Amino acid sequence: MASVESEAQSNDMEKKNEREVGSEAQSQVEDPEKKKKKEEKAREKELKKLKAAQKAEAAKLQAQQGSSASKTSKKKNLKRDAGEENPEDYADPVTPFGEKKRLSSLMAKAYNPSAVENSWYAWWEKSGFFVTDNKSSKPPFTIVLPPPNVTGALHIGHALMAAIEDTIIRWRRMSGYNTLWVPGMDHAGIATQVVVEKKIMRERRLTRHDVGRERFVSEVWNWKNEYGGTILKQLRCLGASLDWSREARIQKYHCKFDPILDICFTMDDKRSKAVTEAFVRLYNEGLIYRDLRLVNWDCVLRTAISDIEVEHVEIKDRTLLKVPGYENPVEFGVLTSFAYPLEGNLGELVVATTRVETMLGDTAIAIHPDDQRYSHLHGKFAIHPFNGRKLPIVCDAILVDPEFGTGAVKITPAHDPNDFEVGKRHNLDFINVFTDDGKINSNGGMEFSGMPRFKAREAVTAALQEKGLYRGSKANEMRLGLCSRTSDVLEPLIKPQWYVNCNVMAKQALDAVMNDESKKMEIIPKQYAAEWKRWLENIRDWCISRQLWWGHRIPAWYVTLDDDELKELGVYNDHWVVARNEEDAMLEASRMFDGKKFQMSQDPDVLDTWFSSGLFPLSVLGWPEDTEDLKAFYPTSVLETGHDILFFWVARMMMLGIKLGGDVPFRKVYLHPMIRDAHGRKMSKSLGNVIDPVEVISGITLGGLHKRLDEGILDPTELKIAKEGQVKDFPNGIPECGADALRFALVSYTAQVHDFLIFFFSRFLLPWVV
């Protein structure tokens, strides 16, 4: 019997296996469309069953509504009571400094930026996640942080820069690259000197000239050491994963968890050595030279500034403008006409000018050679009414338009760019009538000597009226040049300065971007390539000397021979010696002036800040030494910066990098938008619209914003304007947003706009936080 049952079971198993095999074989050849329809029908059937079950459940719930509501209420109370009984379940435990963040057992009910972001950065840094090895076999990827100015603190524009660069560098780090993000700070010659000058004036009522050069420079170093750490702290708060280990040493501690690192600085020993080496090499190749030319002179700072640092204001009509150093506004947009008496009783010649005070330095009058009205005056002279100087009447078809004005043009070669060229063409005298602080000097005559230039404008006009030579004035459109730092009206002055011949280097920088055959660098967005081309094709030689005290002293010494007739510094252009140090300069001077007795003194001027920062991709990697860093990481991969310094900095780095480093300093340039306030203005301390990113991250009240202004460097008028602006733009202060939300908001806008406003940023930031 057991045998029969066993046999039957065996037969059943065989049949079952056959059915399964057949079913499997059938499924392998079954039409996908039919299979899909079967699955859809099965789903519909299940859906009907589900709906029926839901209806039954709804009816059941309705019948038990009273009881159910009571139970629900009890459950809610239990949950609330449990939360109140165990608040530690939602709080992060204390994380020892440098250890991985310890998290709560339960996720907090509300997002708290400071709680979420706390402790992570110290662990990242201590774990060495940001440190780079120049001997790594991984492909290199390098970004140099555009060195922020050591003038106190970063603003929201720097936060945008840091957020973009950190995003790029973290992505490449996670992708397996040997990433290097190099930190650093710039000494910012003009900006920092202005800050410290205001500080000592506010605190001690002294100018830098009262203090003296040596003590003033010491004051600036103290400022740098005190406030430089603020910038590093801000970058950490932003989560910037910079390689702080590079050349860094702990200098001091503000507190246990706030080390101040002595990172790369444009005026430290290594960077200063690179600046000197670059100057000497370019001078020896004939690319740096000294010449007497017109410069844009700031009478407040008493220094020359670069052409591209000039802000131009279009004046359409008679306009009153506030000028530093003057109590009352000064009128611009006025064309004043006056007559020059002609020698030999030949009558008079009427000229017109928007700067009547410069007539004190006139040395000629120009007419067009084909202007028949003045053909009888060729070779004649006019007489200056205040000093009796004979002014030749010269024919100049290049400058003079006979159809404009009277067809006669006053020529002041030492105070106007066009007149400067006329002066060279006709071998005229160059007479400077202004002191460095913008007053009339002895060349302007005793009657006006010592007057501020715009006071002299009124006095000269009144004197012309007394002499019967005034011929009236009218409104006139004009373009006024202002200093971007001080808002002073710039004065063209003739000064001996050091220049860089940019022609060849500019052509190389242009070809590296625009020439398909030699292209080595890409500009993003592409629209800026056209501006790159336009500027480099029309480049002028770069004036690199500044009459400041804070900066790199020019490595040039002037040799005064005992038998020189004139002893003034720089009077003989062939008496300059350029060397890496004073000892080398002495040896070179002895060779040049063999057997002669002499004395030697270093040029008091300093170099333009953009010269040292233009070397930054090289100097930060150890150039001029042939370092392992230079071999591993130059050229760098990407430069990320604002489009407003495309020519101030990016073009200078390109020219110097190609010339001294043998290759472009970076393969790509990404230009981010500018952040402006709700009124479209750039960030400015005097306007009070500068926002500290830490204040956005951690939040700050309106009173806190005002307190920061009170501790700043603003004069009473600037302080009043700044506070009024803050009340209008931030009536309730700035709520806490956290670093992640700030970074996300900033980066999100970069793909949408050319420039974006803080108004939109603040409007849409808070919803992203919650």
pLDDT of residue 703: 74
Q: Which of 658, 656, 659, 696 is nearest to 675 (CA)?
A: 696
Q: What is the DSSP letter of 255?
A: S
Q: Kindly state the average pLDDT of the residues 719-725.
A: 73
Task: Name residue 569's amino acid.
Answer: L
Check residues 90 and 137 and name the one with the higher pLDDT. 137
Question: Contact, 380 vs 346, CB < 8 A?
Answer: yes
Q: Is residue 753 very low, low, confident or very high in pLDDT (cuts 50, 70, 90)?
A: low
Q: Which of 184, 48, 304, 113 is nearest to 620 (CA)?
A: 184
DSSP for 331-373 reads: EESEEEEEEEEBTTS--EEEEEES-GGGGGG--EEEE-TT-GG
Whether the predicted pLDDT of 592 surpasses 90: yes
Tokens of 576: 């300059």
Check residues 724 and 573 and name the one with the higher pLDDT. 573
Question: Contact, 704 vs 695, CB < 8 A?
Answer: yes
Task: Please report which helix (H) or strand (E) contains residue 498, including its range.
Answer: strand 491-500
| SS3 category, 375 | helix
pLDDT of residue 63: 62
pLDDT of residue 523: 95
pLDDT of residue 109: 81
Q: Is residue 516 very low, low, confident or very high in pLDDT (cuts 50, 70, 90)?
A: confident
Tokens of 241: 């994963």
Sign of CA dihedral 75, 79, 80, 82: positive
Q: Kindly state the average pLDDT of the residues 526-546.
A: 93
Omega into 413 within 30° of 0, i.e. cis? no
Return the CA Rg of the chain: 37
Q: Kindly state the average pLDDT of the residues 720-739.
A: 77
pLDDT in tens, 120-133: 999 999 999 999 99
| Long-range CB contacts for residues 578-586, cutoff 8 Å, separation at least 24 | 578/279, 578/280, 578/283, 578/284, 578/288, 579/280, 579/555, 580/276, 580/277, 580/280, 580/555, 581/276, 581/555, 582/557, 585/555, 585/557
Span between the terminal Cα atoms of the chain, in Å: 78
pLDDT of residue 745: 86
- C-alpha distances (whole Å) from 253 to each of 250, 268, 694 are 8, 20, 20
Which residues fall within 8 angstroms of residue 345, CB to CB, at 6 or more apart? none
Task: Please report which helix (H) or strand (E) contains residue 761, including its range.
Answer: helix 758-769
Tokens of 285: 């190749």
Q: What is the DSSP letter of 446?
A: T
Which residues fall within 8 angstroms of residue 3, CB to CB, at 6 or more apart? none
The CA distance from 474 to 223, in Å, is 49
The CA distance from 391 to 389, in Å, is 6
pLDDT of residue 494: 92
pLDDT in tens, 330-367: 999 999 999 999 998 889 999 999 999 999 999 999 99
CA 262 to chain centre: 22
Across 29-33, 224-228, 605-609, which has the greatest mean pLDDT? 605-609
Check residues 409 and 763 and name the one with the higher pLDDT. 409
Question: Contact, 363 vs 391, CB < 8 A?
Answer: yes
pLDDT of residue 174: 94
| SS3 category, 4 | helix
Which residues fall within 8 angstroms of residue 81, CB to CB, at 6 or more apart? none
Q: Is residue 495 very low, low, confident or very high in pLDDT (cuts 50, 70, 90)?
A: very high
pLDDT of residue 224: 85
Whether the predicted pLDDT of 655 surpasses 60: yes
> Considering the chain, what percentage of its residues have pLDDT values greater than 70?
84
* Three-point CA angle 135, 137, 138, nearest 5°: 115
Omega into 525 within 30° of 0, i.e. cis? yes
Residue 83 has a CB neighbour count (10 Å cut-off) of 13
Q: Is residue 60 very low, low, confident or very high in pLDDT (cuts 50, 70, 90)?
A: low
Q: Kindly state the average pLDDT of the residues 431-449.
A: 95
Which residues fall within 8 angstroms of residue 386, CB to CB, at 6 or more apart? 360, 445, 447, 448, 463
Residue 645 has a CB neighbour count (10 Å cut-off) of 16
Average pLDDT score over the chain = 84
Task: Name residue 531's amino acid.
Answer: E
Whether the predicted pLDDT of 760 surpasses 50: no
Whether the predicted pLDDT of 765 surpasses 70: no
- C-alpha distances (whole Å) from 267 to each of 201, 446, 611 are 25, 44, 12
Task: Please report which helix (H) or strand (E) contains residue 245, including its range.
Answer: none
CA 7 to chain centre: 93
Alpha helices in 699-736 (DSSP H): 702-710, 716-729
Question: Contact, 330 vs 357, CB < 8 A?
Answer: no
Question: Contact, 217 vs 550, CB < 8 A?
Answer: yes
* Three-point CA angle 434, 438, 440, nearest 5°: 45
Whether the predicted pLDDT of 668 surpasses 80: yes
Residue 610 backbone phi and psi in degrees, to 5: -70, -20
Q: Which of 310, 289, 537 is nearest to 417 (CA)?
A: 310
Q: Kindly state the average pLDDT of the residues 483-500.
A: 91
Q: Which of 24, 143, 80 is nearest to 640 (CA)?
A: 143
The CA distance from 396 to 367, in Å, is 6
Q: Is residue 249 very low, low, confident or very high in pLDDT (cuts 50, 70, 90)?
A: very low
Whether the predicted pLDDT of 687 surpasses 70: no
Task: Name residue 597's amino acid.
Answer: K
pLDDT of residue 304: 92
Can you point out the beta strands (E) in 348-456?
Answer: 348-353, 364-367, 381-383, 390-395, 408-411
Out of 80-89, 287-296, 475-484, 630-639, pick the least confident.
80-89
Q: Is residue 155 very low, low, confident or very high in pLDDT (cuts 50, 70, 90)?
A: confident
pLDDT of residue 644: 84
Q: Is residue 203 very low, low, confident or very high in pLDDT (cuts 50, 70, 90)?
A: confident
pLDDT in tens, 370-420: 999 999 999 999 999 999 999 999 999 999 999 888 899 999 999 999 999
CA 719 to chain centre: 24
For the chain, give me the number of helices (H) and strands (E)? 24, 29
Whether the predicted pLDDT of 247 surpasses 60: no
